[in-house]
Copies of this chain bind each other. A is one copy, B any other.
Amino acid sequence: MKRYERFADEIAELIRDGVLAPGERVPSVRQASRQYGISPSTVFQAYYLLEDRGLIVAKARSGYYVREQARRVLHEPHMTPRRQETADVAVSELAFSVLDSLQDPETVPFGSAFPSPELFPLARLSRSMAKGLRGMAGSDVLKDMTAGDADLRRQIVLRYTLKGMPLPSEELVITSGAMEALNLGLQSVTSPGDLVAIESPAFYASLQILERLKLRAVEVPVHPRTGIDLDVLADSLARLPIKACWFMSHLQNPLGASLDDDSKRELYALIKRHRVPLIEDDAYAELHFGTTPPKPVKQFDDEGLVIHCGSFSKCLAPGYRVGWVAGGRFAEPISRLKLMTTISPSVPAQAAIADYLQHGGYDRHLRQLRHALETQQRQMLDAASRYFPDETRATHPAGGYFLWFEFPERVDSLRLFRQARKRGISVAPGPIFSATRGFRHCLRLSYGHPWNPRSEAAMATLGELIDTF
């Protein structure tokens, strides 16, 4: 990262944390240059970047100010208490109708689970693919199918090491995206009928997978900013024969909440005490807005209890279908299960990503991607504050590409989903994120696509529809 980018990120973090409030003046170029020991031109470059990202505005002859974010700042949503202790899961139909709503390319894709492919270096990746395939002997094809591409494995292990989490190579299984990793992890530690602790609200695919595997959900409430309620979890683990936990400790989908390191340590202590494996879905690991990459619960794992699932689908190569799992003590059963179900992710796709990680400029791409997402988040929050009713609450996550909106109780997000669909807008209604069909007055919207006049108009339309309730 260049010096001016690093400085810009530091200022952005001060703004995000409220240390620099909206309307407040940011340090002058001279002050900043002296205080941070950088050249004035570096400060200028950083401020241009921040202006570009919409975080500060220049006022003629008086310097830079933190942008008055919007007409008003939306309040944080409430935390929803648990409605029932355990639940059978049946959310698939609803989730599939959201997927259906995205089939029409003319639809405004606020309901999408994927960021826009325009944000990814697809052309560069296909050059990496060509290079990777040229260097591949026929015999590699079969070898890579059981063990995974050796270069890719090395690169993934290296990235764990750089984060301060050395990973024994035997723990690593390359999978067809995080989705397969999660499926394999869950199957390797549960049997039909078992209880699994999940978040509420939760990523709907986890609900679908529980449903498919005939597992029962113990829903643990998630605070919209600080993450899963550890007291409720401790209580559930103490009283119920829970066989596995499945959580996102970082940029939780749909809330964008993250546990801090102390809470992660506490969470690990809990599962260790009860000897319950944790399936840690870390699909958004690289999409943090701040400068310091957060570490997962896996960092504390000294007994191989954490099954840590990652993917390139949301940060580099959508459609390549390459992810991985650091399977802890369950790595071997997971690997075998994979050989019995899909055998291997596509070998050329693995080779492409391996080459890209080595030569493609991954970290530069990630910085651009994070900046784009942060800008788009602000644009969507601005639009929401303009068009949505006053009582609307919204998350302000420090990464990812989802916002969670809480409306007054009278708003029925399922009806809203159907009405919006007729107007060419896809949204993800609250109940698909819950085994107990809660969150009826909530909505998840994705800002994963570059903002444009159609996005703006769609927000206005949603505002009008919400007003009719």
Q: Which of A122, A147, A321 has the most CB of B within 10 A?
A: A321
A320 lies within 8 A of B343 (CB): no
**Set of chain B residues within 8 Å of A336, measured between Cβ atoms:** 92, 96
Known A126-B130, A133-B129, A134-B126; contact A142-B319, beta-carbon cutoff 8 A? yes
Q: How many copies does the complex hold?
A: 2
Q: Which of B143, B179, B209, B345 contacts A346 (CB 8 A)?
A: B345
In the bound assembly, the distance between CA atoms of A203 and B126 in angstroms comes to 36
Per-residue 0/1 for A319-360: is the Cβ within 8 Å of any B Cβ (1 yes, 0 no)? 111100000000000001101111111111100100000000
**Set of chain B residues within 8 Å of A122, measured between Cβ atoms:** 133, 136, 138, 141
Q: Is A438 part of the binding interface, using a Cβ–Cβ cutoff of 8 Å?
A: no
Q: Which of A134, A141, A177, A183 has the most CB of B within 10 A?
A: A141
Classify the interface of chain A: helix, strand, loop or mixed: helix
Q: Is A208 part of the binding interface, using a Cβ–Cβ cutoff of 8 Å?
A: yes
Q: Is A117 part of the binding interface, using a Cβ–Cβ cutoff of 8 Å?
A: yes
The A84-112 residues at the B interface (CB cut-off 8 A) are 92, 96, 99, 103, 105, 112
In the bound assembly, the distance between CA atoms of A176 and B146 in angstroms comes to 14
In the bound assembly, the distance between CA atoms of A421 and B341 in angstroms comes to 26
B209 lies within 8 A of A142 (CB): no
Per-residue 0/1 for A192-230: is the Cβ within 8 Å of any B Cβ (1 yes, 0 no)? 100000000000010011001010000000000000000
In the bound assembly, the distance between CA atoms of A146 and B114 in angstroms comes to 12
The A140-195 residues at the B interface (CB cut-off 8 A) are 141-147, 176-177, 179-180, 183, 187, 192
B340 lies within 8 A of A321 (CB): no
Q: Which of B120, B321, B340 contacts A347 (CB 8 A)?
A: B321
Q: Which of A129, A180, A343 has the most CB of B within 10 A?
A: A343
**Set of chain B residues within 8 Å of A146, measured between Cβ atoms:** 99, 103
Smallest CB–CB gap between A161 and chain B, Å? 25
Q: Is A139 part of the binding interface, using a Cβ–Cβ cutoff of 8 Å?
A: yes
Known A130-B130, A192-B192, A348-B349; contact A141-B319, beta-carbon cutoff 8 A? yes
Known A126-B133, A179-B343; contact A318-B141, beta-carbon cutoff 8 A? yes
In the bound assembly, the distance between CA atoms of A289 and B390 in angstroms comes to 73
Q: Is A17 part of the binding interface, using a Cβ–Cβ cutoff of 8 Å?
A: no
B352 lies within 8 A of A348 (CB): yes
**Set of chain B residues within 8 Å of A187, measured between Cβ atoms:** 212
Q: Which of B92, B103, B143, B340 contacts A209 (CB 8 A)?
A: B340
Q: Is A118 part of the binding interface, using a Cβ–Cβ cutoff of 8 Å?
A: yes
Q: Which of B214, B319, B348 contacts A319 (CB 8 A)?
A: B348
- Chain A residues within CB distance 8 Å of chain B: 92, 96, 99, 103, 105, 112, 114, 116-118, 120, 122, 126, 129-130, 133-134, 136, 138-139, 141-147, 176-177, 179-180, 183, 187, 192, 205, 208-209, 212, 214, 318-322, 336-337, 339-349, 352
